[in-house]
Amino acid sequence: MSGYYFKADGLSVGYNGMPVVSKLDFGIEKGKILSLIGPNGAGKSTVLKSIARQLSVVAGCVYLDDANLLEMSAKEVSTKMAVLLTERLRGEMMTCGDVVGTGRYPYTGYFGVLGEEDKRAVKNAMELVKVADLMDRDFSEISDGQRQRVMLARAIAQDPEIIILDEPTSFLDIRHKLEFLSVVEKMKEEKNVTVIMSMHELDLAGKISDRILCLKGEYADRFGTPEEVMEKEYIRELFGIDEEMKAFAEQKGIKII
Partner 1 sequence: MEQKRRIRYIISFLILILGIGLFFVLNICIGSVKISLSDVLSSFTGKEVGETVRSIIMNIRFPRTAAVFILGGALALSGYLLQTFFHNPIAGPFVLGISSGAKMCVALLMVFLLGHSVKMNSASLILAAFFGSMISMGFVLLMTRKIHSMSMLVVCGVMIGYICSAITEIIITFASDADIVNLHNWSRGSFSGMTWDQVKVMAVVVAAAFVVVFLLSKQLDAYNLGDSYAKNMGVNVSFLRIMIVILSGVLSACIVAFAGPISFVGVAAPHLIKKMFGTVKPILMIPACFLGGSLFCLFCDLLARNLFAPSELNISTVTAIFGAPVVIVILQSGKREKKR
Say how many C-beta atoms besides its own lie within 10 A of residue 203's C-beta.
Answer: 12
Which one of 53, 177, 188, 211 is in contact with partner 1 (CB under 8 A)? Answer: 53
Q: Smallest gap, in angstroms, from Cβ of residue 63 to partner 1?
A: 19
Residue type, 221: D
Nearer to partner 1, 32 or 80 (CB): 80
Q: Cβ(213)–Cβ(52) under 8 Å?
A: no
Helices (H), ranges, the chain: 44-51, 74-80, 96-101, 116-128, 144-157, 174-191, 202-208, 226-229, 232-238, 243-252
Q: Would you count residue 113 as binding partner 1 (CB under 8 A)?
A: yes
* Cβ-Cβ contacts under 8 Å for 217 (sequence gap 6 or more): 21, 39, 41, 42, 43
SS (H, E, C) 77-95: HHHHEEEECCCCCCCCCCE
Which lies closer to partner 1 via its Cβ, residue 10 or residue 115? 115
Whole-number CA gyration radius for the chain: 19
Question: Shortest approach of partner 1 to residue 150 CB, angstroms?
Answer: 13
- Rank residues 29 and 141 by Cβ distance to partner 1 and give the closer one: 141
Q: Which is nearer to partner 1, 105 or 234 (CB)?
A: 105
Q: Which of 25, 30, 106, 226 binds partner 1 (CB under 8 A)?
A: 106
Q: Which of residues 2 and 16 has its CB atom nearest to partner 1 in the complex?
A: 16
Single-letter amino acid code for the residue at 203:
D
Q: In the complex with partner 1, which residue's Cβ is closer, 6 or 239?
A: 6
Window contacting partner 1 (CB under 8 A); options: 20-28, 50-58, 177-185, 244-252? 50-58
Decide if 48 contacts 164 (C-beta within 8 A).
yes
Query: Mapping DSSP to helix (H, G, I), strand (E, B) and coil, where does residue 134 land?
Result: helix
**What is the rounded distance in angstroms from the CA atom of residue 235 to the CA atom of residue 229?**
8
The site string for partner 1 over 115-154 (x = CB under 8 A, - otherwise) reads: --------------------xx------------------
Q: Tell which one of 22, 25, 65, 89 touches partner 1 (CB under 8 A).
A: 89
Q: Beta 6-15 vs 59-64: how paired, if at all? A: antiparallel
Q: Which is nearer to partner 1, 50 or 208 (CB)?
A: 50
Kindly state whether residue 252 participates in binding partner 1, applying the rule CB under 8 A.
Answer: no
Instruction: State the Cα–Cα distance between residues 128 and 177, nearest whole angstrom.
Output: 16
Distance CA 79, CA 103 (A): 10
From residue 163 to residue 182, the character string flagging contacts with partner 1 as x (rule: CB under 8 A) and all else as - is --------------------
Q: Is 112 in the site for partner 1 (CB under 8 A)?
A: yes
Q: Which stretch binds partner 1 (CB under 8 A): 83-91, 189-197, 201-209, 222-230?
A: 83-91
Site of interaction with partner 1 (CB under 8 A):
49, 52-54, 73-75, 77-78, 81-83, 85, 87-95, 102, 105-106, 108, 110-113, 135-136
